[in-house]
């Protein structure tokens, strides 16, 4: 019991402290490609610290659930992150079938953020929320297919076991499909532009227009955590864990997440945004890639 | 003991009929006492696993009474009593003497008949009496749906319900009559050793499928559930749909089932789940939307049940019991949260007088309790942790995955079903974000919504109780696994092997931990916000100076992206005028989703039947010459048959 608590505490601290690094790195890469110097890598940490001290301006239409919902969404994202193994360390709270809980924890976060957006009675936030829940239908299909493929490869539906073995025959398809999901779920280009200034075209940023102070800090931190969580998932699909010494495995894991982050940054810098009516098509491509991966895994596992 | 309890309940049922006319409070007490008796009997059976059976020499319609309460009946009876009790209390003040002087007393009468006949259906072990009780409950439901029959819409909904139900009953007449003819008696019980009975299950599938509202047999359901008084809607979708499921489960346990029927049920379940929620997304009427979600959830139940049938046909108890347990638990879960949502919708209707979501908004200020309960129900029906919807869907997911991993026959179907179940969850989430956001949050769109009021304790209490039920199953799923396992074993003893629910225990622990953390985080963030200082200001609307509530995003626009994907089946109709000219004057746009299945498929089919019937009627027009002609033709035909082929 004590060990489990220690492990959980360490994982929360590690993930929570490292998460805000990723958006900073992505911004840095984008600035670097564009030939600018860009804000410091630790900018999000400064932002979070400042927001945490600020007072709150709350929409006069919003209920207390507007703020409680943000806390729920943050806890749900953190819970999903706790289900992931970290290299050789299996999740201490994992169990058979936790992959399903993982998907639904992310859904809980989405339920709360979109509902909080609708609470403000703003049409922009309604638009953002509508896009978020609609595109999530396709990403959830892709994630479900991807997780089932992993499950069939490892004959288990527990994330710690599913991510343990080395890459199976379906990995290339799966990684590509889930990379598209990562970009969409974390509102990166080509689905959403975190730096855009036009409310009409935003998804995630449009939903948080009316948040401020500590709730906004929780939202930003939760978004960074979600990015880290998807990166870890994607990286551990490729990397076999447990083969080497723990320190080496952790270093490899961190390096791989770094590489993935740079890749996201390069994608953002080099690709233009998609028109909204193209987004479902691209997401369907991601889903089909995961579906083919599932098909390969199913064929490979047949006696 | 059980006999005594049920006898007391029967007495209460008769007493309820007697006092329904004049004494509402006494009636409520008697009804609750009767339900408590049934609940106690059901709990006893579920806990002990014993089967209670009672045969009597008392004859009705030439058949001796034969009642039987096993774990499967008890499982559904428990749901009936809980939802029935909550809805009875709610109905007492929702459809009170003061508000509905013409129909309140009649409503109580039919309500007693409905609850009584549903209980009898669950207890019956005689085909003839089963049919009688089935018909009685159909009629009672019809009169309850049309309680407010001044409105034409209500009458039409009631008529559609009656017609559809009787198409089903016709199939059941054929089913029970053929069964009785083959078996030489009306007594029901296990008859798996008669493989020649298998084709009969198709009749049962259609008959009970209509009652359970599976796609595309659901055409009567949306309008009936939308137009019935809300406490009636709650019991119709919470319990009577499940009686259709009960009958399917019951007879598939007793009769041999053709494998094609099992696949039909599983496939129908997938189609119901996805299309049910797609249609729900297109609705503007709060209760009609909830009714379409019943189609979706019946689909989820049928996915589990269909795969359980496949599993038992091929001898795969391991994952068979997982999908069956998920399916049965979803029966309870859906009963609880759908009744909760319908009661919530009733409170909204009661407070504002409208079911149109585009006229509501911002109700949380006036109705905090209702809002809280409704959002809880919405989270539960979307399958979110730490509530009950996830527990049953998780069991089904686990079973489907094991089916695929075991490379059982056609296991790719299980994979497809799992993915589509996930998609259904995401669609349901989108739909309930829309409902909660548009109805309860934001700003009131009309004066009626602004002047809403919270409902009284007699209406809040049942909602809180049902919400507590959702929370209890979510947080302590292991406690509720016992009854589910008992019912599964009663359905098919082959699936009875002791499944040690360790993953379920882990899920329950997770839910408990999550609930505690959510509470903690919510309180902590609120506290931090209060200490930092909180100021209210207008929502930022791009610097627009005169925002009005009409500028809010509507339900139609919110669901627009997804309904666009399903336009091939929803066939949304646009009305309105596009802006014209360089200085456009008035312009408008409205979208509504028709009852595509009813209007495009069932409607033409029905007119075809009517056309045929009208033509057949030409034969009978009262002219003696024509009848003589028929006679001559008939005799000639007989002669031809006798001489040409029939004679040896």
pLDDT tens digits along B272-290: 999 999 999 999 999 999 9
**Domain check: are B487 and B355 in the same one?**
yes
Domain ranges, residue B614: 601-646
| Token duo for residue B538 | 């207008």
pLDDT on residue B260: 93
Could you report the per-residue pLDDT of A174-185, keeping only the tens digit for each?
Answer: 999 999 999 999
Q: Tell me if B106 is assigned to some domain.
A: no
| Token duo for residue A278 | 């193209």
Where is mean pLDDT largest: A94-108, A202-216, B94-108, B535-549? A94-108
Q: Tell me if B279 is assigned to some domain.
A: yes
* Displacement of CA B547 from its chain's centroid (Å): 41
Could you report the per-residue pLDDT of A58-75, keeping only the tens digit for each?
Answer: 988 899 889 999 999 999
Contact residues, chain A, for B503 at CB < 8 Å:
95-97
pLDDT band per the 50, 70, 90 thresholds, residue B412: confident
Terminal Cα-to-Cα distance of chain A (whole angstroms): 40
Taking CA–CA distances from B556, the nearest residue in chain A reads A130
Q: Is B437 touching A (CB cutoff 8 A)?
A: yes
Q: Tell me if B642 is assigned to some domain.
A: yes
| CA pair distance A134, B560, nearest whole angstrom | 9
Q: Which has more pLDDT, A155 or B277?
A: B277
Domain boundary among B460, B495, B530: B495
Q: Tell me if B392 is assigned to some domain.
A: yes
Averaged pLDDT, A220-246: 87
Averaged pLDDT, B107-133: 94
Q: Tell me if B51 is assigned to some domain.
A: no
Contact residues, chain A, for B425 at CB < 8 Å:
104, 107, 140
Partner-chain contact B525 A70, CB within 8 Å: yes
pLDDT on residue B500: 57
**Domain check: are B270 and B384 in the same one?**
yes
Domain count, chain B: 2
pLDDT on residue A241: 65
* Displacement of CA B564 from its chain's centroid (Å): 27
Averaged pLDDT, B555-568: 91
Averaged pLDDT, A79-94: 89
Residue B370 clears pLDDT 60, i.e. is over it? yes
Partner-chain contact A298 B412, CB within 8 Å: yes
Task: Residue B258: count other Cβ atoms within 10 Å of its Cβ.
Answer: 18
pLDDT on residue B552: 87
Q: Tell me if B483 is assigned to some domain.
A: yes
pLDDT band per the 50, 70, 90 thresholds, residue B643: confident
Burial class of residue B349, CB neighbours in 10 A (0-12, 13-18, 19+): middle
Residue A250 clears pLDDT 90, i.e. is over it? no
Q: Tell me if B318 is assigned to some domain.
A: yes
**Domain check: are B338 and B482 in the same one?**
yes
| Token duo for residue A143 | 């994630």
Domain boundary among B495, B515, B544: B495
**Domain check: are B625 and B485 in the same one?**
no
Could you report the per-residue pLDDT of B434-466, keeping only the tens digit for each?
Answer: 999 999 999 999 998 889 989 989 999 999 999
pLDDT on residue A192: 86
| CA pair distance A39, A106, nearest whole angstrom | 30
pLDDT band per the 50, 70, 90 thresholds, residue A19: very high
* Mean pLDDT (chain B, rounded): 91
Residue A167 clears pLDDT 70, i.e. is over it? no
pLDDT on residue B118: 95
Residue B499 clears pLDDT 70, i.e. is over it? no
> Residues A289, A147: contact at Cβ < 8 Å?
no
Contact residues, chain A, for B394 at CB < 8 Å:
97, 100-101, 104
pTM: 0.94
pLDDT on residue B646: 58
Averaged pLDDT, A32-51: 93
| CA pair distance B9, A44, nearest whole angstrom | 66
pLDDT band per the 50, 70, 90 thresholds, residue B263: very high
| Token duo for residue B91 | 């109905």
pLDDT on residue A242: 61
Any residues with CB less than 8 A from the CB of B252 and at least 6 apart, and which? B201, B305, B309, B491
Domain boundary among B495, B529, B554: B495
**Domain check: are B489 and B614 in the same one?**
no
**Reported ipTM:** 0.96
Q: Which of B433, B525, B551 sits opposite A129 (nearest CB)?
A: B433
Of B27-36, B421-430, B599-608, the poorest mean pLDDT is in B599-608
**Could you say which residues from 391 to 410 on chain B have a Cβ atom under 8 Å away from some Cβ of chain A?**
393-394, 397-398, 401, 404-405, 407
Q: Tell me if B253 is assigned to some domain.
A: no
Longest pairwise C-alpha distance within chain A? 62
pLDDT on residue A98: 92
* Segment A162-169 long-range contacts (CB within 8 Å, at least 24 positions apart): A162/A99, A163/A84, A163/A85, A163/A233, A163/A236, A163/A237, A163/A241, A164/A85, A164/A90, A164/A240, A164/A241, A164/A242, A165/A240, A166/A239, A166/A240, A167/A237, A167/A238, A167/A240, A168/A297, A168/A300, A169/A296, A169/A297, A169/A300
């Amino acid at each position: 019991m004590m060990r489990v608590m220690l492990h959980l505490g360490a994982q929360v601290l590690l993930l929570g402290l490292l998460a805000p690094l990723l958006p900073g790195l992505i911004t840095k890469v984008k600035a670097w490609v564009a030939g600018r110097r860009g804000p410091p890598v630790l900018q999000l940490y400064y932002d979070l610290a400042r927001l945490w001290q600020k007072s709150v301006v709350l929409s006069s239409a919003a209920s207390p659930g507007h703020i409680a919902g943000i806390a729920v969404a943050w806890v749900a994202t953190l819970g999903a992150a706790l289900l992931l193994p970290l290299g050789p360390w299996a999740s201490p709270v994992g169990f058979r079938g936790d992959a399903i809980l993982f998907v639904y924890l992310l859904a809980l976060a989405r339920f709360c953020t979109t509902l909080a957006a609708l609470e403000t009675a703003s049409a922009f936030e309604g638009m953002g929320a509508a896009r978020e829940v609609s595109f999530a239908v396709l990403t959830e299909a892709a994630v479900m297919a991807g997780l089932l493929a992993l499950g069939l490869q490892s004959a288990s539906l527990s994330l710690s076991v599913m991510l343990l073995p080395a890459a199976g025959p379906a990995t290339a398809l799966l990684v590509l499909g889930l990379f598209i999901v990562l970009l969409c779920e974390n509102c990166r280009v080509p689905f959403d532009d975190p730096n855009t200034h036009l409310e009409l075209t935003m998804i995630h940023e449009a939903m948080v227009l009316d948040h401020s102070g500590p709730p906004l800090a929780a939202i930003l931190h939760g978004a960074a955590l979600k990015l880290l969580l998807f990166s870890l998932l994607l990286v551990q699909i490729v990397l076999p864990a447990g083969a080497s010494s723990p320190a080496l495995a952790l270093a490899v894991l961190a390096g791989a997440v770094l590489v993935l982050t740079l890749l996201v940054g390069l994608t953002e810098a080099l690709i233009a945004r998609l028109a909204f009516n193209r987004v479902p098509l691209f997401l369907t491509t991601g889903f089909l890639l995961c579906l083919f991966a599932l098909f390969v895994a199913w064929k490979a596992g047949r006696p | 003991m059980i006999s005594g309890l049920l006898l007391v309940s029967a007495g209460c049922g008769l007493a309820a009929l007697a006092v329904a006319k004049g004494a509402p409070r006494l009636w409520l007490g008697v009804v609750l006492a009767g339900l408590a008796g049934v609940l106690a009997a059901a709990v006893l059976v579920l806990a002990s696993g014993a089967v209670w059976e009672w045969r009597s020499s008392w004859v009705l319609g030439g058949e001796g009474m034969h009642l039987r309460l096993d774990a499967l009946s008890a499982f559904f009876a428990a749901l009936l009593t809980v939802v029935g009790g909550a809805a009875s209390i709610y109905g007492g003040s929702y459809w009170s003497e003061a508000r509905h002087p013409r129909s309140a007393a009649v409503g109580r009468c039919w309500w007693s008949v409905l609850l009584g006949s549903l209980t009898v259906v669950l207890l019956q072990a005689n085909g003839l009496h089963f049919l009688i009780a089935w018909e009685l409950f159909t009629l009672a439901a019809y009169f309850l749906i049309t309680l407010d029959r001044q409105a034409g819409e209500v009458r039409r909904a009631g008529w559609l319900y009656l017609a559809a139900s009787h198409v089903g009953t016709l199939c059941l007449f054929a089913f029970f009559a053929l069964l009785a003819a083959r078996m030489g008696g009306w007594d029901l019980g296990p008859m798996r050793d008669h493989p020649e009975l298998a084709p009969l299950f198709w009749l049962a599938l259609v008959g009970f499928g209509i009652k359970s509202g599976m796609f595309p047999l659901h055409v009567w359901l949306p309008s009936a559930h939308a137009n019935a008084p809300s406490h009636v809607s709650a019991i119709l979708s919470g319990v009577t749909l499940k009686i259709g499921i009960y009958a399917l489960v019951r007879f598939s346990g007793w009769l041999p089932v053709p494998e094609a029927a099992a696949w039909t049920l599983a496939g129908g379940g997938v189609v119901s789940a996805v299309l049910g929620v797609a249609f729900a997304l297109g609705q503007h009427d709060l209760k009609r939307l909830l009714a379409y979600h019943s189609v979706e959830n019946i689909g989820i139940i049928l996915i589990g049940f269909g795969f359980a049938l496949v599993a038992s046909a091929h001898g795969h108890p391991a994952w068979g019991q997982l999908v069956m347990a998920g399916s049965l638990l979803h029966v309870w879960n859906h009963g609880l949260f759908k009744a909760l949502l319908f009661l919530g919708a009733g409170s909204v209707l009661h407070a504002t007088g409208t079911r149109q979501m585009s006229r509501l908004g911002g109700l949380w200020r006036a109705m905090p309790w209702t809002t809280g309960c409704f959002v809880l129900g919405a989270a539960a029906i979307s399958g979110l942790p730490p509530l009950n919807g996830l527990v049953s869907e998780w069991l089904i997911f686990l079973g489907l995955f094991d089916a695929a991993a075991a490379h059982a026959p056609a296991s790719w179907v299980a994979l497809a079903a799992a993915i589509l179940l996930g998609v259904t969850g995401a669609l349901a989430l989108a739909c309930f974000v829309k409902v909660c956001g548009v109805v309860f949050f934001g700003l009131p769109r009309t004066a009626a919504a602004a002047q809403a009021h919270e409902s009284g304790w007699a209406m809040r209490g049942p909602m809180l109780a049902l919400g507590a039920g959702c929370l209890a199953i979510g947080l302590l799923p292991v406690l509720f696994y016992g009854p589910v396992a008992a019912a599964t074993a009663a359905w098919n003893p082959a699936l009875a092997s002791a499944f040690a629910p360790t993953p379920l225990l882990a899920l329950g622990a997770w839910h408990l931990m999550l609930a505690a953390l959510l509470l903690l985080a919510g309180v902590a963030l609120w506290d931090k916000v209060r200490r930092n200082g909180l100021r209210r200001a207008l929502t930022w609307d791009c610097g627009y100076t005169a925002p009005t509530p009409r500028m809010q995003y509507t339900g139609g626009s919110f669901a627009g992206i997804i309904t666009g994907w399903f336009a091939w089946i929803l066939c949304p109709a646009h009305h309105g005028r596009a802006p014209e000219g360089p200085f456009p004057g008035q312009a408008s746009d409205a979208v509504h989703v028709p009852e595509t299945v009813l209007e495009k498929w069932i409607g033409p089919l029905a007119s075809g039947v009517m056309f045929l019937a009208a033509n057949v009627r030409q034969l009978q027009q009262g002219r003696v010459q024509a009848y003589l002609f028929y006679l001559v033709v008939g005799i000639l035909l007989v002669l031809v048959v006798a001489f040409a082929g029939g004679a040896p």
